[in-house]
Amino acid sequence: MIKFFRNIRKRLLAEGKTANYLKYAIGEIVLVVIGILIALQINNWNENRKVLLQEKQLLLNLQAEFKDNLQDLDSITLEVDKVIGSLEKVFDLFSPTHINQPVDSLNIWLSKALNSPNWKPSEYLLNSLNNSGNITGFKNENLKLLLYKWSRQQKEMNEVQQRTEKTGEEIISYLKEFGSLRNVDVANKEFNYRPSTIFTCNNTLLSDSKFENYMDDKLYMYKITQKSLQNARKTIVQLIEETRI
């Protein structure tokens, strides 16, 4: 093709048709420029197509991660509700005078109340996106706002969970010193041992104001956890909807 255009230029020059040669040269330049522009456009189209495919895959991966997180959240929420229910049962038994509460029932409720379900959602993909800066490349502005909101919620939830875990540790420490942790553990079917013969009854704890305060602290923190999980669920549902292709 280049040889063909060169031969035309030679012929026009040889025939002395300078004006025609100039017109032809300009036309040839225009064709070259058009060709370059077309090539650039095709290249840009291919690059945009790659970006769109990459974003589509990221959205699919994000959606899958949040669906898994939602499933785990619902499971943990049920466990948190059970802990709150057990805490409330023990909480209602506190009295300034000694009460004859069935020992087995009290230990069972205490055993369940000492459970500390903790939700740790997967953040592998989101952390990767944050580190790479790919979140800013999403065209969906609402999705970007939700992802930032989600990150903020997770930091707040981590703080709540750390405090909640501490309340459980405080109760266990108090039981070790002033009650029978063994009898509480025996109430759990997975701990297959006989009850303590040294300290047989935890009923005295029900008139202990300090123990009541420890139980109150854990109940209070788990109610906050319950609310945090509800808010997290709303955000996850929104994120799943925004990542639909």
Q: What is the pTM of this model?
A: 0.77
Evaluate whether residue 23 is within a structural domain.
no
pLDDT of residue 59: 87
> Bigger pLDDT: 17 or 103?
103
Distances (CA, A) of 72 to 42, 109, 158, 164, 174: 45, 25, 16, 19, 31
Is 52 a member of any domain?
Answer: no
CB 84 within 8 A of CB 219: yes
Average pLDDT over residues 161-190: 92
Span 147-176, mean pLDDT? 93
Q: Does a structural domain hold residue 39?
A: no
- The total of structural domains in the chain comes to 1
Q: Within a domain: residue 154? A: yes
131 pLDDT higher than 90: no
Within a domain: 222 = yes
Residue 45: inside a domain, yes or no? Answer: no
Structure tokens at 173: 């420490």
**Residue 86 belongs to a domain:** yes
Domain span at residue 218 reads 58-242
Let me know if residue 160 belongs to a domain.
yes
220: domain CATH number is: 1.20.120
- Give the model's confidence band at 111: pLDDT under 50 very low, under 70 low, under 90 confident, else very high: very high
